[in-house]
Each structure stands twice: as C-alpha cells, then as structure tokens.
Amino acid sequence: METWRVVATCAFVAGGLVLVLVGMAQVRDRTRTRGQRRTKRAEVLRAGLLGLVLVAVVALLIAYLLPSVVAWGVVAATVMLVVFITTVD
C-alpha cells in the first residue's frame, strides 16, 4: 500500500472520529430537550454506530479504491468540517 493512502486514511479516521463524537453529542442534546430519558441512550448509541460504520466504509475506500485526488478531497472536506463545527460552537 502506498504511503499517501496510509496518511490519508489516518487523517480521515482522526477527523471522522471527531465528527462522530460531535454527532453523538448533538443527538444527546436534542433528545434531552424532548425529555425522553429512556430512548436517549439508544438513540445516541445508534448515531454513534452509524457514524462509525460510515467512517469505516469511507476509510476502506480511501485505503484501497479511491484515486488520490478524490481521497485527498474527502480528507480536506473532513478537516474543513471539523474546523468549522468545533469553532462555531
């Protein structure tokens, strides 16, 4: 495997995990305002699992399938999302 694929995959996974955590926090905050304490844990877990599966699938695509321009574009978009989301709140 080429070095750029390893670096791009690691960069995407790091950013993707941050985005998964932010998504889980948003789900937790939205369910808290509705007052549903029982389903809160299940909804947060579901959002986390869905996010992790999506990150894993895209990471595998970056590692093995996508051309370099597309892979680095996905990484750049992830970095921009992380910077935007973490600085807005």
Give the range of the structural domain holding residue 66, as residue numbers without chain letter.
3-88
| Structure confidence at residue 1 as a pLDDT band (50, 70, 90) | confident
What is the tally of structural domains in the chain?
1
pLDDT at 80 > cutoff 70? yes
Rounded distance, CA 81 to CA 62, Å? 18
Structure-token match 């892979």, residue found:
71
pLDDT at 31 > cutoff 80? no
Query: Would the CA dihedral through 83, 7, 55, 63 be positive or negative?
Result: positive
Q: How confident is the model at residue 35, as a pLDDT? A: 61
58 Cβ contact list (under 8 Å, min separation 6): 12, 16, 74
pLDDT at 45 > cutoff 70? yes
